[in-house]
Amino acid sequence: MSDPHLLALLRAIRLRQSAPDAAAAGEADTAAALSEIARKKKDAQVADHTPASDSGTPPYFSKHRAPEKPAGESASLLWRGDPSAVMGRSNLRAARGGIPPIGGITPSGPTTPVPPIPGLEGPRPPEPSGMDFPPQIPQRSFPTRRPKAGTGPLRHAAGRDGMDPADDAALRDTQRNLSTSITFAGGVDDVAERLWEALHQAQPALLSSLPGSAATQRGDLARALTWLVHHLADPPALVNGCARLGAVLAECGLQWNRLQLVGAALAEATRAGMPPGSWRQDFDQAWRWAWQHTYEWIVHGGTLVAYQPTIWDVEVVTHEQRREDLAVLTLRTFLPTPFRPGQYARFEVPGVPGVWRPYSLAGAPHRDERIELHVRAKSGSGVSGALVHRIRPGARLRMTKPEGDMGLPDAPGRGILMIAGDTGVAPMKAILTELAALGDARPAVLFWGVRDLTELYDIEALTELVARIPGATVIPVVADGPSGPYMSGPVTDAIAAYGDWSRHEIYLAGPPLMLAKTTASLSRLGIKQDQLHHDPPE
């Protein structure tokens, strides 16, 4: 494997496989390498009949030294690592003399054999299936190796992350242009607000497909622009982050063609905030060039949802210990999280890797990015034990795609009967929160069945919530002991005594035994099976 031409051929093949936008450069490398191999074979055949030179040097090396590379030609890989995280060299190389306009491709590459490439580390172990993709590429340097005499000029040493220093410089130049233009335009919040207004006018369906209110979407755009500028000069992090964003946008049902105008909208949102005469052509090109590559990796990430589950990182904002064995946590998601009120998601906590447990999501997806979890610890260990006893604000959790069939009925004329036991009140609180956010005045009644008064851990918040919904009522039912101002006895008796439920959609949530007993009792009351909605017990 020491032959420089064979190494050049292998390098060209690998580049073709891992970097689609380097196809033109790969073709040139391959053609040159094949040409040199053919020439070497021919010369070797001639050498069988040619005497050695007086100096003792084999004829091939004395007559066929590797041609010198043109001045200014640099190493061609942006960085080395996982093939899925390799960006093409052609677009960045053009940036040395100015950033190419959006859509422009500048194929380039050596037309002569490439000297031996530095040695690579052994194969990396496979990443965990179905989790973070593309994987983060560790920052590591690659040793350079001085070529033997007569094999060509010494290559430039790669940077600490394997990138060509010239390409690093081009990225930093683009990064400075983006940062400077945002500063001239009044700051990232002002740019994000103008960008939101432009997208709202040009592509209202784009924003309506994303969760959150107008205010929270503007905040998300501001954080996204800040992240983009800070990570533009770190291609592995940029590719990984864009791929994760693409996955969650695909889960939101976003159509990719609606994103194509964002680059122009970004440039215009920045230009519109600048004083007259401050806008420069290199600002415009920097924004369009950055979005071109960002868009490509977002779409790349969006294609992955068909092959592996999407994972969200969430941060614990608040942790309230309501009882010794029960806590209410507020979580903040870092990327758009689409869910319907009443759904649940599975969570993984630090210290218990690979174990995922389902919890209902309380919150309003049309209001903000906050999610509320109600967790009862079944033991001192495991996921529930960690969430109740050990997790504190600032901790990071991982969450799967929300699922489940519970939610508001499509027919606005249908009333809603909700029956909850224990922490099953969480999805019902989400439905009530959605009614309040939408101003929906349809009849909605929540029966919360508990064993004793101490289990009404969230009654104050629920009472305040239903006060903002004209047609909503919450009725706690205490099974044992003093009931105070609330109804007492089995919750099914209270439901039967309250009225006729034939024109209501009925939602159930709670422990499996409670679900079974309540379903049987409702059936005896004449409730039809297609009126009942609940998630399968686990």
Which long-range contacts (C-beta less than 8 Å, at least 24 apart) are formed by 265-272?
265/195, 265/198, 265/199, 265/202, 266/191, 266/195, 266/291, 268/194, 268/198, 269/185, 269/191, 269/192, 269/194, 269/195, 269/198, 270/181, 270/182, 270/185, 270/191, 271/185, 272/185, 272/194
If you compute the radius of gyration of the chain from its CA atoms, what whole number of angstroms results?
31
pLDDT tens for each residue of the chain, 538 residues long: 445 555 555 554 544 444 444 445 445 554 555 555 556 555 655 455 444 434 333 332 233 333 343 443 333 223 323 333 333 333 333 333 443 333 333 333 333 343 343 443 444 444 343 333 333 333 333 333 444 444 444 344 445 555 567 778 888 999 999 999 999 999 999 999 999 999 999 888 888 888 888 888 999 999 999 999 999 989 899 999 999 999 999 999 888 888 888 988 999 999 999 998 889 999 999 998 999 889 999 999 999 888 889 999 999 999 999 999 999 999 998 898 888 888 999 999 998 999 999 999 987 766 667 899 999 998 888 999 999 999 999 999 999 999 988 888 777 778 899 999 999 999 999 999 988 888 888 899 999 999 999 999 999 999 999 999 988 999 999 998 888 899 999 998 999 888 788 888 999 999 888 898 899 988 888 888 888 988 877 6
Q: Which domains does the chain have, with CATH numbers?
A: 1-68 (no CATH), 169-306 (1.10.490.10), 312-399 (2.40.30.10), 415-533 (3.40.50.80)
For residue 273, give the 3-state DSSP assignment. Answer: coil
For residue 152, give the 3-state DSSP assignment. Answer: coil
- Sequence-separated (6 or more) residues with CB below 8 Å from residue 281: none
pLDDT of residue 483: 86
Helices (H) and strands (E) in the chain, counts: 16, 12
Of 464, 450, 469, 317, nearest in space to 393 by CA: 317
- List Cα–Cα distances, 407 to 211, 212, 404, in angstroms: 16, 17, 9
DSSP string, 304-351: GGGTS---EEEEEEEEEEEETTEEEEEEEESS-----TT-EEEEE-TT
- Secondary structure element (H or E) that encloses residue 509, with its range: strand 504-509
Query: How far is C-alpha 76 from the geometric centre of its chain's CA atoms?
Result: 29
Beta strands in 337-494 (DSSP E): 344-348, 357-360, 370-376, 396-399, 415-421, 444-450, 472-478, 487-488
User: Residue 170 — φ and ψ, nearest 5°?
Assistant: -65, -40
Q: Are 273 and 185 in contact (CB under 8 A)?
A: yes
pLDDT of residue 36: 56
Q: What is the pTM of this model?
A: 0.66
Q: 144: left (phi > 0), else alpha (psi -120 to 50), else beta?
A: beta
In this structure, the strands spanning 532-533 and 487-488 are unpaired
- What does the pLDDT look like over 201-246, one tens digit per residue? 988 888 888 888 888 899 999 999 999 999 998 989 999 999 999 9
- What does the pLDDT look like over 17-61, one tens digit per residue? 444 444 454 455 545 555 555 565 556 554 554 444 343 333 322
Count of residues for the chain? 538
Q: Are 472 and 444 in contact (CB under 8 A)?
A: yes
